[in-house]
Amino acid sequence: MKVGVFDSGIGGLSVVKSLLQHQLFEEIIYYGDTARVPYGIKDKNTIIRYALEAVEFFKNFDLDLIIVACNTVSAYALDEMRQNASCSVVGVVEAGVLATSNALKEKKNASILILGTKATINSQAYEIGLKDLGFLNLTPKATPLFVPLVEEEIYEGEILEATFKHYFTNLTKPEALILGCTHFPLISSALANYFGEDTLLIHSGEAIVEYLEKHFNFTQKFPLPQMKFFASENPENLRRVAVKWLEL
Ligand code: DGL
C-alpha cells in the first residue's frame, strides 16, 4: 500500500514514526504545510481550504490511502477531504476515540482529559465521539503552548513544567489522557511523570495503527519503506527533524 500522510507541519512525523514501527506501508509520502502552520488557531473554512489543497497535492502520487495526522484537520475537514480525494481518507480523531474506548473497555465513567489545539477543542470532535460511545466524564483542555515548545525541541525541564502548572493546576488526575495533537507525543514522558504512570496516554500514531489494522487487510510487513517528504516551506527543516525524530 502506498500512503500519503498529511499534517499542518512537522508534527505529523510522530504519526509516521508509529507507521514505521509497525512496518505497514511500502511507500510513504509525507506532506507538511510548514508555510502555514499552525492550523490550530485558524477557523473552520481556512482549515478546510488548506486541507483540500493537500488533497490536490496528493493526486500526483496515485495513493491507496491518505492519513490525516493532524488532529485539527481531522476534526474539521475529513468529510470534505473524503468527497474530493480519489482514495480512502482516515483521520486521527476517530482513531483516537476508538483507541480510548478500547483501552478503557466498559469503564464508561473513567475520567478522560482531552488535550489539543484551540481549534480541535472548540470543534468538540473528541467529546462528541466519546459521548456517542457512552463516555461522559470528559475534560477538554486547549493547550496550544505545547506546540511551539515542541517545535523548539523542549521536551522536558523548567519551562515545560511551568506550562503544566499553568494548564493543569486545578485539574484532578485523569484516568486517561488523550494527546489530541501531533506534537504532544513528544512530551509524553514529561506528561506521564506529571500525572503518574497509571494515567493511560492515548497517542494518535498508535491509535491510527490500531484503527488501520482493524479496517484494512495488511498481509505483508515493509521494514524498509520508500519515503518522500514534502513541505510547503523550509523543507530542510522538515528533513532535519525527520532524521532526528524518525532516527533515519
Ligand atoms: N498538527 C496540529 C494538530 O495536530 C498541531 C499544530 C497546528 O496547530 O497546526 O492539531
Active site residue 181: yes
The finding on whether 72 has its CB within 6 A of some atom of ligand 1 is yes
Q: How many Å lie between the centroid of ligand 1 and the Cα of residue 106? A: 30
Cβ-contact 180, 69 below 8 angstroms = no
Residues 65 and 112 in one domain: no
The finding on whether 71 has its CB within 6 A of some atom of ligand 1 is yes
Residues 188 and 217 in one domain: no
Which pLDDT tens digits describe the chain residue by residue (248 residues)? 999 999 999 999 999 999 999 999 999 999 999 999 999 999 999 999 999 999 999 999 999 999 999 999 999 999 999 999 999 999 999 999 999 999 999 899 999 999 999 999 999 999 999 999 999 999 999 999 999 999 899 999 999 999 999 999 999 999 999 999 999 999 999 999 999 999 999 999 999 999 999 999 998 999 999 999 999 999 999 999 999 999 88
Residues 79 and 41 in one domain: yes
Residues 164 and 124 in one domain: yes
Residues 147 and 220 in one domain: no
Q: How many Å lie between the centroid of ligand 1 and the Cα of residue 25? A: 24
- The count of residues in the chain is 248
pTM: 0.96
Residues 123 and 189 in one domain: yes
Residues 174 and 78 in one domain: no
Q: How many Å lie between the centroid of ligand 1 and the Cα of residue 6? A: 11
Residues 58 and 86 in one domain: yes
Residues 86 and 11 in one domain: yes
Q: Which of 70, 186, 212, 242 is catalytic?
A: 70
Active site residue 87: no
Q: Which domain holds residue 101?
A: 94-204
Residues 214 and 200 in one domain: no
Residue 61's CATH number = 3.40.50.1860
Q: How many Å lie between the centroid of ligand 1 and the Cα of residue 112? A: 20
Count structural domains, the chain: 2
The sheet carrying 2-7 orders its strands as 88-91, 65-68, 2-7, 27-32, 226-231
Cβ-contact 31, 201 below 8 angstroms = no
Q: Which of 181, 207, 212, 242 is catalytic?
A: 181
